[in-house]
Amino acid sequence: SQIEKGGFPHFTLKEIFEQPKSLRDAMRGRINAEKNHLVLGGLIEYQQKLINADRIIILGCGTSWHAGLVGEYLFEEFARIPVEVEYASEFRYRNPVIREGDVVIAISQSGETADTLAAVELAKSKGAIIFGVCNVVGSSIPRATHAGAYIHAGPEIGVASTKAFTGQITVLTMMALIIGRAKGTITESKFQELITELTTIPDKVEYILHKVDSQIKYIAEEFKGARNFLYLGRGFNFPVALEGALKLKEISYIHAEGYPAAEMKHGPIALIDENMPVVFIAPKDSTYEKIVSNVQEIKARKGRIIAVVNEGDKEIKDLAEFTIEIPQTHEAFSPILTVIPLQLLSYYIATHLVDDVDKPRNLAKSVTVE
Ligand code: G6P
């Protein structure tokens, strides 16, 4: 009903706009930057296993798998642990190698996805210690795992996952920082600096939502007739390119592909002409100069460039048809910010094309059968 949607036309939009709150809730009682404190209560009993892990295997489906990919970069960066991110549906039907010292993290908004649950059971039968990163309290995956941390995003009704994605990344970030601090792969002063920055993220999300909303409505109007989109990002924002493309496919039925920006040379660049919108996720991070070259390559082939950049950006602004500006943060936290405009873009394009954005055809919120 209209009341449940809190005045928004769809749950999807309501949930996008809820993210400042859902992210504060994900951190509540867990981080205190002044006290240099970061604790995830649900991990404690098995935390040493995580800290000593030789390898982390992350399992998920759909958007949760994309959050897992961001997790790979986070655990590598802060905890110096090798990570493999697997589609649960593939993992469960292989004969996966699980060794002593391997730790599994299962990510699932619903906690009920059949493939993820089956993958958890398989890993458990092979002796792995398993952590859950879920939203729905008391659901099957949290019950099947040894330990875990809820993302506390509140009910997510829109089929396209939005606030769960940013909540999952936030919890994975906290896990990586806890391990990194315990292992000493991040110094105490760096740790302090990082948790201070992490606690500013909800405010930055709030700022972005208000700043870019009407601009993105305009861009959506401009591109609602496109039949294909390409999303490109590098490093921490490569998974965001995948997620941006998935959002568009799910709710607007426009074909979209996400790619690592450098990899486009090996195929997608053949598709570029004056009808192809290309969304770059290009904040000023360690990959920035490289991505500027990729923007130039698209420009030279007359692709229509939309770029998510940091405030004050000049180089990409000169090349792109539209730039969406967001504030700076540590590069490891940037996916939580860069995905926000992409969620809005999909939503506003979808409103022109699809009857019920909250319930796209053929999709289910939770895939509880194979
Ligand atoms: C379905 C949903 C997606 C979700 C995926 C995994 O496909 O439509 O939004 O990302 O399942 O769901 P989970 O609940 O395990 O995160």
Cβ atoms of residues 107 and 67 within 8 Å: yes
Nearest to 247 by CA among 273, 281, 271, 275: 281
Does residue 343 line the site of ligand 1, with CB under 6 A?
Answer: no
Strand order in the sheet with 255-260: 255-260, 228-233, 277-281, 304-310, 322-326
Q: Which pLDDT score, from 0 to 100, does residue 369 have? A: 86
Phi, psi of 159 (to 5 degrees): -65, -40
Does residue 47 line the site of ligand 1, with CB under 6 A?
Answer: no
| Ligand 1 centroid from CA 180, angstroms | 29
CA-nearest residue for atom 5, ligand 1, is: 62
| Ligand 1 centroid from CA 151, angstroms | 15
Nearest to 116 by CA among 172, 60, 58: 60
Beta pairing, strands 37-38 & 31-32: antiparallel
Tokens of 258: 């996400």
Q: Which pLDDT score, from 0 to 100, does residue 136 have? A: 98
* CA–centroid distance for 197 within its chain: 18
CA angle 183, 165, 209 (to 5 degrees): 115
The residue assigned the tokens 């895939």 is: 367
Q: Which pLDDT score, from 0 to 100, does residue 3 have? A: 82
Nearest to 101 by CA among 60, 50, 172, 148: 50
Cβ atoms of residues 81 and 53 within 8 Å: yes
- Which residues lie closer than 8 Å to 95 by C-beta, 6 or more apart? none
The number of the ligand 1 atom at minimal distance from the alpha carbon of 161 is 9
Q: Which pLDDT score, from 0 to 100, does residue 269 have? A: 93
| Ligand 1 centroid from CA 61, angstroms | 6
| Ligand 1 centroid from CA 36, angstroms | 34
Q: Catalytic site residues?
A: 365
Q: Which pLDDT score, from 0 to 100, does residue 370 have? A: 82
ipTM of the complex as predicted:
0.98
Nearest to 97 by CA among 127, 53, 59: 127
CA-nearest residue for atom 11, ligand 1, is: 366
Q: What is the Cα–Cα distance from 123 to 26, expressed in whole angstroms?
A: 27
Does residue 367 line the site of ligand 1, with CB under 6 A?
Answer: yes
The number of the ligand 1 atom at minimal distance from the alpha carbon of 60 is 15
Q: Establish how many alpha carbons lie within 13 A of residue 174's alpha carbon, considering only the half-sphere containing its beta carbon.
A: 31
Q: Which pLDDT score, from 0 to 100, does residue 14 have? A: 98
| Ligand 1 centroid from CA 18, angstroms | 19
Does residue 168 line the site of ligand 1, with CB under 6 A?
Answer: no
Q: What is the Cα–Cα distance from 178 to 50, expressed in whole angstroms?
A: 10
Does residue 87 line the site of ligand 1, with CB under 6 A?
Answer: no
pLDDT in single tens digits along all 370 residues of the chain:
678 899 999 999 999 999 999 999 999 999 999 999 999 999 999 999 999 999 999 999 999 999 999 999 999 999 999 999 999 999 999 999 999 999 999 999 999 999 999 999 999 999 999 999 999 999 999 999 999 999 999 999 999 999 999 999 999 999 999 999 999 999 999 999 999 999 999 999 999 999 999 999 999 999 999 999 999 999 999 999 999 999 999 999 999 999 999 999 999 999 999 999 999 999 999 999 999 999 999 999 999 999 999 999 999 999 999 999 999 999 999 999 999 999 999 999 999 999 999 999 999 999 998 8
DSSP code for 77: I
Beta pairing, strands 37-38 & 55-60: unpaired
Nearest to 204 by CA among 20, 28, 362: 20
Q: What is the Cα–Cα distance from 189 to 196, expressed in whole angstroms?
A: 11
Q: What is the Cα–Cα distance from 275 to 154, expressed in whole angstroms?
A: 39
Please choose from 161, 168, 169 the residue to mutate so as to test ligand 1's pocket, defined by most ligand atoms within 8 A of CB: 161
Nearest to 109 by CA among 145, 147, 67: 67
Helix, strand, coil percentages in the chain from 3-state DSSP, rounded to 5: 50, 15, 30
